[in-house]
Structure 1
Amino acid sequence: MPTKTVDETPLYRNPGAAIEDRVEDLLGRMTLEEKVAQLHAAWLKLSSNGNHEWRVADFAQRTTDISIDSLLKHGLGQITRPLGTHTVDPKEGVRALNELQRQMMEETRLGIPVMSHEECLVGLMIKDATLFPAPLNYAATWNPELIEQVGEIIGQQARSIGCHQGLAPVLDVSRDPRWGRTEETLGEDPYLVGVMGYRYVNGLQGEQRDLLATLKHFAGHSASEGGRNHAPVHVGPREFNDIFLLPFEMAVKLANAGSVMPAYHDIDGIPCHADRTLLTGILREKWGFDGLIVADYAGVNLLYTHHGVARDAASAAAMSFKAGLDIELPGHECALHLKEALARGEITEEVINPIVARVLATKFSLGLFERPYADPEKVELRGEAASRVAYQAAVESAVLLCNDGTLPLNVEKIAKLAVIGPTADDPLALLAGYSFPVHLINAGEKAGVPMATPLQALRARFGDLHVTYAKGCDVIKERSQGAPVYPGDVKMDEAINENRTSLISTDRGQIAEAVKAAKDADVAVVFVGDLAGLFQSGTVGEGSDTDSFDLPGVQQALVEAVVETGTPTVVVLTGGRPYNLGGFEDRIAAQVMAFAPGEGGPDALADLLVGKASFSGRLPLSVPKSAGAVPFFYNHKLKSAGTPIAYHFGSRYPFGFGLGYTKFEYRELEVKELQVPIEGGTIELELEIENVGTREGTEVVQVYVRDRLASTVRPVKELKAFSRISVEAGKRAKVAISVPVDMLNFTDENGDRVVEPGEFDVMIGSSSRDIHLTETVTVIGEHPVILPFSWRMLSSVKSTVEASKAKRVGTDTRPVAK
């Protein structure tokens, strides 16, 4: 009898087969242990010789009750931050990752490759990668195209090290700047956050979605009690959908985001990691999300250690996976107990199998089975394009808040410039909390900071002999690890009642030297603000919340002492949240809010201060008058101000505000149709802006809408369109704006997005406060309309700038050779 020929290559290894067929074949071959292995990560310090070590942390993987070999023998879903966990040479880090990948491919029964994820919010969070500005800077550019370029470059760098998933962007809408993670947000307006966020996702993922962006923190994390980390969120379903879910919906539907990360908090008693309505009902079923839902670090564990809704690790795992979770990060604390949960009937394999299938389908779609390794010799973390974009983002995001004419500084006429302040010569002061050098502080490591400082950049412009420097004070004298991460890590009563000491310096001993430097100078530039650091290792960042908008430490005293000398004083504020200057805003010569501008910040700030570049940034969030005024945001309800209007309500510098070195006038608003249909209608506007100043500048035209009469209370105004427009001095630009009627929606009692007929005030301005042109448009319809799945969620702005006589568009003005 002839021997039957058997094809020994399993279907799942055939790259030509359909992904769904490959998944079905592989899933059918897997044991329960192999399935569970795909549902969690491992947090290891990898080695190229295969001798990997545990990464043990206070808040995750405190202890390990299993050997690394035992953990890995059945495979692994993800490896957590292989190059970002500790300082490692990038090429060596790739070799170590390749070794782990080889072990997964060659030493496990089925040879399923592992996914690698890294943080990438402000650049790839590993040694030597480009240090981009903070997300507040991204938003302050009001330039979606530029932020897509930022995402694209970060994505290229991530791919070069074998990374498959980036843990960004943050789509939390800022509601309370006391919250330490305000620096990670894209501001206080859901539309601005959504536009910037989806463009970042487009750039990071690319057309092939061969690198997954991760939308976080899903959802409402920024509305926590008192702006405190992890605190409960109290928000109704309408506000939740209109404000906090909108940016996520935009990123899912417009950018096909590949992953979502639930938040730590609970909403009305339900933790996000256990909320099936949120993770499955809204995200998957309502929006059609087809990617991976990955836990925030230790978020599953918190279901039983903090929230108290699960009795143990097994129950926590069952609860989260039934809610919609796909992968536990950063380790295996709860997922490994799924077998116990199965035995207790808390979850079934019928629930687990589709989750495993999603993980496998993702790995197939990423091409991991065919291309599991990265080339260490092709690691690319720096380059001319990356530096150029990092600089441009820093230039376009700096916001000029006030200026009496002292700026721009005249290099030729200033004989002595005093550069003062604790952040003037500290590169860490220009970086956000999720940059690699700052992140290492709380890990007990120190990283080199390969960038200049504002002091160095100004010395390069003015010359060393023309610049004097005085630190004036410290924000924190010595950077070190902060406090325990979670409230449950300390005894609550003791922690609340004890007199704990802050790292922030109160030493005024250096102010006298700063006063002397200011007195001897023509102009003083004072650099003050935050030092980002996680969990109270800094003044802003994750777990570094505040109760005040006064400058940290004695910086206010420093500013006041310098101003009192009578020398014109320019204040440059860097950091992750807005601060007030104690009334000295009226006595300084100029103020710049630069947020955390990254490695391009020093040159960008120097160029802006001397006028080589022009200010064009606009505030992505309001600057409340005091901590007692929060929550304050521009898109508040009319009665938010109190009755009578509270004296502390409002903002000196509102959302969308920013000055330049020139001025613009708005005129000739025309509305194409004052009545537009409720279904398929579009509000079409035309206007003109003119640069009436003496130099070229960029205006950010902003369109706001107010619903005059609605079935629910609506905000006083909401941003619906915006655009940056650059115009030469004396020239004009025609601006055409289209706002789909769909964008006038709000959420009804059934959770649907609806548009109601009625009158809407359309306001065009240069900030949420500075409205220059207004018209009323009527939306015509007999009944409210429930929006379809693919509703129109983007406006468009087109501008035509008047051509210069010397150089018209499309005309070669060079002299003809004779």
Structure 2
Amino acid sequence: MERQKVKQLLSEMTIEEKVGQLTQFAGLFYSTQTNDVPVTGPVDFPVNDEIIETSGSVLGIAGAKKLIDIQKTYLEKSRLNIPLLFMADVINGFETIFPIPLGLGATWEPSLIEELQAVSAKEATSAGLHVSFAPMADLVRDPRWGRVMESTGEDPYLNGLFAEATVRGLQGEDLTQNSEHLAACVKHFAAYGAAEGGRDYNTVDVSERELREMHMPAYKAALEAGVKLVMTAFNTVHSVPATGNQALLRGMLREEYGFEGLVISDFGAVQELIPHGVAEDETEASKKALLAGVDIDMMSLCYSHSLTQLIKEKKLDESLLNEAVERVLHLKNDLGLFEDPYRGTSEKREKSTLGHASHKELARTVAEKSSVLLKNNDILPLTKETTIALVGPYADNNDLLGEWSIFGNMDETATLKDKLQEAFPTLTFAKGSDLYERNQDLLEEAIHSATHADVVVLALGEGRDRSGEGRSRSSITLSPSQIELAKKISELGKPVVVTLFNARPIDLTELEPYVDAILECWHPGSEGASAIVNLLIGDANPSGKLTMSFPRATGQIPVYYNAYNTGRPLPAGSEERFFSRYIDIPNEPLYPFGYGLSYASFEYSEARSNGDKFDRKQTLQVEIDVTNTCNVEGEEIVQLYIQDPVAEVTRPVKELKGFKKITLAPNETKTVSFEISEPMLRYHHSDLSYSSDPGTFYVFINGSSNCTDTNKLTITLTEA
């Protein structure tokens, strides 16, 4: 349909039909098989047939036959033949599930994330979907928050690269011409990851400068990549709920950033303006949301119950309704739905696409690259001659897909036991403990099983029921039963390797002394078990690095690498009282941002540059030599950090500004170069202007954020 015909179509619509286009309800209201329709929020309100038959989009349901039938039935009742939009959370895969996004971040490979998101789109569109609620670009510094698993970490620069890659992978280059891609929706606008206390749906209170400096860059990256939709956050921004925040949505998002796409509320967020205390009833909530620029009311009855009356009583200008509806129609048009309401979906296409062998192979590769080796006392990799005892509540557990794998099939997911037994036929196994409950019989069985083994592989973690939306935790340690299991096994004097399955940074301080190796596996997806075995036996070499710091204690949270300095920074090695410090633990995290080991070992030379001064029109080249000092090929992520020691406002102690992933053969040396330009030194001043200051800067090149003076350069930006 030509774009001018959208306006013609709009002119033919009644107010009631327009309002219908701005409402979205869950698939359970459309399907007779409600038990197979995922629900991602409260559903405690009545929806009549009239509302359903005029609603313009559907949430959280998929399947070629199912969606074709729903679309056909809907169009038969639609006066103007305006098709439905089908939207769902396709976060880290559709049927083929990849590692959770926090694990995807640990790959430090945006191009790989773009590739796997294209696979996700291909599978999702074969099942009839048009929109994915991804990427989540929220900056997160608090691992107590359940939805940390859906983020890519604590760094605005890196989050932006992954957000951009996700948009490109999901949307492709031309949605109209390529039905194997779908529209992406960046969320949650804005600063949802900064919820106080790490408690989901809680208040967010950040300054305007902090909002722009740390939280906005990743959203902006998604916008610049051409994302089609933006989802509002549940939280407040400057004390105003995001879903009713005109300054945020119409001001910053549309006027300042130039976003012309569609804004959708999160699940029930329009109605939640009432308990937030900024709206008295549904009518006022609807008015505030539409005035703010929310185009679609997801899973509330506010728009359905109130907008028609508000327009007819002249309490809202119909032009506001029209511009929202027009954006919905333009998205449907961009997807080619007016020409083909089914977008080429068929049961045949679905059957040939879902779970394709190439998709599974990619999932295995990504799971290998996302795993992070946190500790290794020369135990890994395991040799095939080693006698292995596999112990732990995650040893024979297929809960590897993560909370947002709503269309994945856990029953068909291999467990670590399944795959490790293929490599070690004499493997012995014992559960040892439930995930959260102690069992003396299981514990004794595990001790007996481990007694005659050369090495114990201890599979520990937290299940999907302890992470994701609505699953914040006040303490992020492993359960006491699992810690006891680790202690008892360690008393046998055997080398102990931990494979850790979890969806957030875990406090490992109590576990770490009792084990010889820790492989952070996250919730690794459909092919996670195969990937982990490849890593354990050395068929794959760990290369992942953390994008979020692991704390030493829950009370240390938030702890993140790009913190601001204080007036009393703690001198290295000091235990003096009157400095900014804890008296019971170090200030530093147990495992910092950017950290991750390999079976290879890497040596960094001193950093160097082609000069120490440059102006705003020049660039400076800095470089370092990295050598693989062992006989195993490995990948290393070389990271560039910059510190601005004197500025108009306090600046972070260091900021990631670039990185390169290199492969080094045994004993090979490569020179890694970075180009530094003036825009990399800009920041938001106290008046919110965005510019750099002339002066001295420190540059660090290292394999993690734990930089040293050996890797440090001093450079100067001059006025000229």
- TM-score tier by shorter-chain length is over 0.9
Could you say which residue in structure 1 is the equivalent of 2:474?
547
Question: Cα distance 1:55–1:207, how it changes in 2: closer, same or farther (>3 A)?
Answer: closer
3-state secondary structure, aligned to 1:449 = helix
Q: Does 1:118 align with 2:88?
A: yes
Q: Does 1:426 align with 2:397?
A: yes
Query: What TM-score does the superposition give when structure 2 sets the normalisation length?
Result: 0.93
Q: Does 1:323 align with 2:306?
A: no
Kept in 2: contact 1:134–1:597 (CA 8 A): yes
Deviations 1:461-519 (A, max 9, x none): 011xx2111111111xxxxxxxxxxxxxxxxxxxxxxxxxxxx4244442121112222
Give 1:376 shift. Answer: 2.1
Kept in 1: contact 2:460–2:498 (CA 8 A): yes
Could you say which residue in structure 2 is the equivalent of 1:816?
none
Could you say which residue in structure 2 is the equivalent of 1:519?
451
Query: What TM-score does the superposition give when structure 1 sets the normalisation length?
Result: 0.82
For residue 320 of structure 2, the aligned residue among 351, 359, 363 is: 351
**Residue pairs, 1:206-355, within 5 angstroms:** 206-210=172-176, 211-253=182-224, 255-304=225-274, 306-330=275-299, 332-342=301-311, 345-355=314-324
Could you say which residue in structure 1 is the equivalent of 2:560?
633
3-state secondary structure, aligned to 1:99 = helix
Could you say which residue in structure 2 is the equivalent of 1:203?
169
Kept in 2: contact 1:317–1:335 (CA 8 A): no
Q: Structure 2: how far apart are the matches of 1:780 and 1:364?
A: 51
3-state secondary structure, aligned to 1:721 = strand
Could you say which residue in structure 2 is the equivalent of 1:529?
461
Q: Does 1:387 align with 2:353?
A: no
**Residue pairs, 1:573-592, within 5 angstroms:** 573-592=500-519
Could you say which residue in structure 2 is the equivalent of 1:180?
146
Q: Does 1:22 align with 2:14?
A: no
Question: Cα distance 1:437–1:148, how it changes in 2: closer, same or farther (>3 A)?
Answer: closer
Q: Structure 1: how far apart are the matches of 2:273 and 2:397?
A: 40
Q: Does 1:473 align with 2:433?
A: yes
Deviations 1:674-733 (A, max 9, x none): 22223x443322222111111100110000000011000001000000121011001111
Q: Structure 2: how far apart are the matches of 1:618 and 1:469?
A: 30
Q: Structure 2: how far apart are the matches of 1:547 and 1:65?
A: 36
Which amino acid in 2 is paired with 1:661?
Answer: Y
Kept in 2: contact 1:173–1:185 (CA 8 A): yes
Could you say which residue in structure 2 is the equivalent of 1:409?
382
Q: Structure 2: how far apart are the matches of 1:63 and 1:507?
A: 42
For residue 646 of structure 1, the aligned residue among 582, 602, 605 is: 582
Kept in 2: contact 1:570–1:591 (CA 8 A): yes
Which amino acid in 2 is paired with 1:27?
Answer: L
Question: Cα distance 1:58–1:334, how it changes in 2: closer, same or farther (>3 A)?
Answer: farther
Question: Cα distance 1:259–1:508, how it changes in 2: closer, same or farther (>3 A)?
Answer: farther
Which amino acid in 2 is paired with 1:323?
Answer: A
Q: Structure 2: how far apart are the matches of 1:216 and 1:104?
A: 29
Give 1:369 shift. Answer: 0.2
Kept in 2: contact 1:300–1:328 (CA 8 A): yes
Deviations 1:343-367 (A, max 9, x none): 5654221211111111111111211
Could you say which residue in structure 2 is the equivalent of 1:567?
494
Q: Structure 1: how far apart are the matches of 2:618 and 2:228?
A: 32
Q: Structure 1: how far apart are the matches of 2:80 and 2:242?
A: 34
Kept in 2: contact 1:176–1:631 (CA 8 A): yes
Deviates further, 621-630 or 335-344? 335-344
Q: Structure 1: how far apart are the matches of 2:80 and 2:90?
A: 31
Kept in 1: contact 2:486–2:515 (CA 8 A): no
Q: Structure 2: how far apart are the matches of 1:307 and 1:561?
A: 49
Could you say which residue in structure 1 is the equivalent of 2:573?
none
Which amino acid in 2 is paired with 1:216?
Answer: K
Which amino acid in 1 is paired with 2:191?
Answer: G
Kept in 2: contact 1:76–1:104 (CA 8 A): no
Give 1:599 shift. Answer: 1.3
Q: Structure 1: how far apart are the matches of 2:502 and 2:610?
A: 43
Which amino acid in 2 is paired with 1:326?
Answer: D
Q: Structure 1: how far apart are the matches of 2:692 and 2:392?
A: 51
Give 1:30 shift. Answer: 1.1
Question: Cα distance 1:750–1:105, how it changes in 2: closer, same or farther (>3 A)?
Answer: farther
Deviations 1:293-343 (A, max 9, x none): 111111111111x21211111211111111111111135444432123335
Question: Cα distance 1:733–1:425, how it changes in 2: closer, same or farther (>3 A)?
Answer: same
Q: Structure 2: how far apart are the matches of 1:134 and 1:51?
A: 28
Could you say which residue in structure 1 is the equivalent of 2:45?
63
- The answer for unaligned runs of 5 or more in structure 1 is 1-14, 84-92, 439-446, 476-503, 533-537, 783-818
Question: Cα distance 1:543–1:721, how it changes in 2: closer, same or farther (>3 A)?
Answer: same
Question: Cα distance 1:742–1:508, how it changes in 2: closer, same or farther (>3 A)?
Answer: farther
Q: Structure 2: how far apart are the matches of 1:371 and 1:610?
A: 50
* Identity between Structure 1 and Structure 2 (%): 34
Q: Structure 1: how far apart are the matches of 2:365 and 2:169?
A: 16
Kept in 2: contact 1:662–1:697 (CA 8 A): yes
**Residue pairs, 1:589-628, within 5 angstroms:** 589-628=516-555
Question: Cα distance 1:335–1:173, how it changes in 2: closer, same or farther (>3 A)?
Answer: same
For residue 662 of structure 1, the aligned residue among 600, 606, 623 is: 600
Kept in 2: contact 1:437–1:449 (CA 8 A): no
Could you say what the CA RMSD is over the residues aligned between the two structures, in angstroms?
Answer: 2.2
Q: Structure 2: how far apart are the matches of 1:341 and 1:675?
A: 62
Kept in 2: contact 1:759–1:779 (CA 8 A): yes
Give 1:770 shift. Answer: 3.9
Kept in 2: contact 1:629–1:650 (CA 8 A): no
Q: Structure 2: how far apart are the matches of 1:459 and 1:51?
A: 38
Deviations 1:250-292 (A, max 9, x none): 1111x11111111111133211111111112111111111211
Kept in 1: contact 2:24–2:56 (CA 8 A): yes
Give 1:553 shift. Answer: 4.4
- The answer for unaligned runs of 5 or more in structure 2 is 177-181, 571-578
Could you say which residue in structure 1 is the equivalent of 2:575?
none
Question: Cα distance 1:371–1:323, how it changes in 2: closer, same or farther (>3 A)?
Answer: same
Deviations 1:396-435 (A, max 9, x none): 01111111111111112x1x2110110111111x221101
Q: Structure 2: how far apart are the matches of 1:508 and 1:623?
A: 30
Q: Does 1:80 align with 2:40?
A: no
Question: Cα distance 1:316–1:419, how it changes in 2: closer, same or farther (>3 A)?
Answer: same
Could you say which residue in structure 1 is the equivalent of 2:712?
774
Question: Cα distance 1:59–1:549, how it changes in 2: closer, same or farther (>3 A)?
Answer: closer
For residue 702 of structure 1, the aligned residue among 639, 659, 668 is: 639
Kept in 2: contact 1:137–1:393 (CA 8 A): no
Q: Structure 1: how far apart are the matches of 2:654 and 2:681?
A: 11
For residue 376 of structure 1, the aligned residue among 347, 351, 356 is: 347
3-state secondary structure, aligned to 2:298 = coil
Kept in 2: contact 1:721–1:739 (CA 8 A): no
Which amino acid in 1 is paired with 2:295?
Answer: D
Could you say which residue in structure 1 is the equivalent of 2:424?
462
Give 1:556 shift. Answer: 0.9
3-state secondary structure, aligned to 2:680 = helix
Could you say which residue in structure 1 is the equivalent of 2:105?
139
Give 1:528 shift. Answer: 0.6
Deviates further, 769-778 or 276-285? 769-778
